[in-house]
Chains A and B, each alone.
Chain A
Amino acid sequence: MVTDLERLSKALSEDTPEKLAERELRENATKIAHALETTGVYEDPKLGLRISADNNGRAGH
């Protein structure tokens, strides 16, 4: 049984999906930059995300 409910509540509010996703994106910044700048698409199956962007014509060069 959980006794320190304040600590539990803090842990729950810190590990939200958006905070985890943001952390993951920061850690994979290089990979994301490479994917978006070359193909314009980055897929992250772990987060269940598909990020696409205009790469300003770089993919063709």
Chain B
Amino acid sequence: MIALIASALLGLYVFVPYIFFHRISSLFIRLKKFQRTKTEEIVAGIIVAGLPFVATLFLFSAGWIGGCCVPYSLPDAPRQNVSDYRIVFDAAYTDRYFTDHEQATWDALDRVYRRQADFLVWNYFFLVLETAGFIMLVHYYWYFRRNAFYRWFASHVLLPAVSEWHILLTDFNFSPHEERRVMADIMSKDDILYRGDIAEYFLDCSGELSGLLLKNPERFQFEKLKEERKTGVAKDKDTDEYWKVIPGGGNFYLPNNNIGSMNIRYALPESAFEQLIRDAVQRLNLKGVSNISVQLHR
């Protein structure tokens, strides 16, 4: 019976908070995944569940929450607290104690249930706050990272929980107002060069990349370039015309087992990029040059 109670408490105080934290955070941020042993799972759960637990415990002992307050009021709580838990433990340990003190055990169990329910409600409330705080702090990494303390905290606490693929394959590092596209040049294992905008990425159960979904995909016609080089008609400097749009509606899936290497860039919208280049050219202070205009090939 005691083992059963211990398992239930472990589930309610460690595993459920950990699963809740992981599931809710994963809706906004891809968290790091790796195969864990049972012990590692418990340690991770204790770390995630520890903060709201300690906060609840502290506020309960300080009398700021719980007891006479919502949601489970217990006016006699302070005095009966220890004896109630002792009765429930003794009853769980020996059947004889339970049969001899059946009514007292049920009464104590009712109060223990109320105290636990009260504690858990507050514990889960702080867990929701912890999860929301984690999501906000990671989500606004691009904004807060100018702060030295935040940088240290992010480096030691927040980022180790985030999948490196989330950092690489999304605009995680940049303000969403910049509206950057995440673009990739991908060399496949069968020596075909692709490029496109990363629309989605998929991770396997060990947290490794399993595939990429590209929007506006194009394939580089290297054979055509080689042929035209042989005949001397190739435009070596401008290879843009050798990119061919992959037909089929613009969704192109590349499985990880066919990806040899990948070059990722975070491109600004064309107008913003052209403006930045115009400003950069103006900063060169070229004499006798005005009305600078910039055109961008892809």
* Residues on A facing B (Cβ under 8 Å): 1-2, 4-6, 8-9, 12-13, 16-18, 21-22, 25-26, 29, 32-33, 36-37, 43, 45, 48-56, 58
Q: Is the CB of A49 within 8 A of B284?
A: no
> Can you list, as one digit per residue, whether each of B264-298 has a CB less than 8 Å from chain A (1) or not (0)?
01111000010011001100101111111111111
Bound: A23/B297 CA distance, A: 18
- Once A5-B159, A6-B159, A53-B291 are accepted as A-B contacts, the answer to whether A48 and B240 lie under 8 Å apart by CB is yes
Q: Is the CB of A33 within 8 A of B167?
A: no
Q: Is the CB of B267 within 8 A of A8?
A: no
Q: Is the CB of A50 within 8 A of B286?
A: no
Q: Is the CB of A13 within 8 A of B284?
A: no
Contact size range, B: 35 or more
Q: Is B133 an interface residue (CB 8 A)?
A: no
* Residues on B facing A (Cβ under 8 Å): 141-142, 145, 151, 154-155, 159-160, 162, 164, 167-168, 172-174, 237-240, 265-268, 273, 276-277, 280-281, 284, 286-298
Which secondary structure dominates chain B's binding surface? mixed
B274 CB to nearest A CB, Å: 9
Bound: A36/B111 CA distance, A: 85
B218 CB to nearest A CB, Å: 13
Q: Is the CB of B273 within 8 A of A17?
A: yes
Choose among B239, B240, B265 the residue that contacts A17 (Cβ–Cβ < 8 A).
B265
Q: Is the CB of B293 within 8 A of A51?
A: yes
Q: Is the CB of A49 within 8 A of B297?
A: yes
Choose among B167, B286, B291, B294 the residue that contacts A49 (Cβ–Cβ < 8 A).
B294
Q: Is the CB of B289 within 8 A of A55?
A: yes
Bound: A25/B54 CA distance, A: 56
Choose among A4, A18, A48, A51 the residue that contacts B281 (Cβ–Cβ < 8 A).
A51
Bound: A8/B174 CA distance, A: 13
A24 CB to nearest B CB, Å: 9
- Once A51-B292, A53-B289 are accepted as A-B contacts, the answer to whether A22 and B237 lie under 8 Å apart by CB is no
Q: Is the CB of A58 within 8 A of B293?
A: no
A1, A2, A6, A32: most-surrounded residue (chain B CB, <10 A):
A6
4 more CB-based (< 8 A) A-B contacts, given A6-B151, A48-B298: A9-B141, A22-B280, A50-B294, A56-B289
- Once A50-B294, A52-B292 are accepted as A-B contacts, the answer to whether A12 and B284 lie under 8 Å apart by CB is no
Tell me which residues across on chain B come within 8 A of A49, comparing CB atoms. Answer: 277, 294-297
Q: Is the CB of B294 within 8 A of A37?
A: no
Q: Which residue of A lies closest to B34 (CB)?
A: A1
